[in-house]
Structure 1
Amino acid sequence: MTTIAKQTTFRHKLAYYAELSYLQYENLRHQYFLDWCGKIAHQKYIPLKWLSKNDYLKNWFDDQWVALVEGGIKRQYNTELDAGIFDKDDVLLMLDTFYLDLQYFPKILIEKIIKAQKYENQESNP
C-alpha cells in the first residue's frame, strides 16, 4: 500500500486488496445491505423499499458489517493479507463468506419500521 499504514483503516486495506476504490467498496457493501434487506422483506412479506430506505436499519447493518465481516476478516487473516498471500478473488470470497454471518436482524426495529409504514400508508390513503 502506498499510504502510511497508520493512516488507513482496515476497510481501506480490504478495498485495496480487492482491487476496488473506496467508493466501489462502499457500493459493494451497500449491495450486500440491499441483499440482506431483501431476505428480511421476503421473510416478513413487506416491500423491500420499507427496509432499504431506513437510516436506522442501515446504521445497524453497518455496525454489524464492521464487527462481523471486517472484524472477522481482520482477526483471522490480517497477517496473511499483509503478507500478500491472497489475491483479489480470495478477498472477495472472504467478504462473501463473512457476510453469511449477518443472518440476524433487529426484530424490534423491523417491527417499528413496519408499524410506521402502515401508519404512513393509512394517512396517505384516508
Structure 2
Amino acid sequence: MDITRAALEAGIASFEATHGGVPDSFQPLIRHAPGAFAGYGLMRASLMRGQEDGGALDLKTKELIFALLDVLVGQTRGAKAHAANAIRLGLTLPELAEGLVQCLMVGGITVWNLTGREVMEHCEAIVAERG
C-alpha cells in the first residue's frame, strides 16, 4: 500500500474514532485532493491519540482546545462539534463556560456574540438531552 493511501486511511480512522465519522466538509478534499487530506489525516491521527496511546493530553482537553480555537476564529460549526465531543468525553458546562470566557477576554464580546453563545447553548442542549 502506498504512503498516501495509508495516510488517508489513518486520517479517516482518526475521525471515526473521535468524531464518529469524517465530517462532510472534508469529503471534497478526500475526493479531489487526497494527498492534502492524507497529510492532514496523519497530523490529526498523531495529535488525537489518547494518553493510553502516547498522547500527552487527554482527548477531552484536546477537544476543548479545538473548540476554543474555533470560537476565536469564528468557526461556529467546528467549535460546536469539538465542544460536543468534549462534553461527551466528560467536560462540564462550567468548564466550557470558563474556556469561553477566556475567548471573550482575548477576542472581545464579538467572539461571544458570533460563536461563543451558540457553542454554549448547543452544549446545554446536549446535557439536557442526557437528563
Q: Under TM normalisation by the shorter chain, which class is it?
A: under 0.3
Provide the TM-score with structure 1 as the length reference: 0.27
Provide the TM-score with structure 2 as the length reference: 0.26
Whichever structure has more helix as a proportion of its residues is: 2
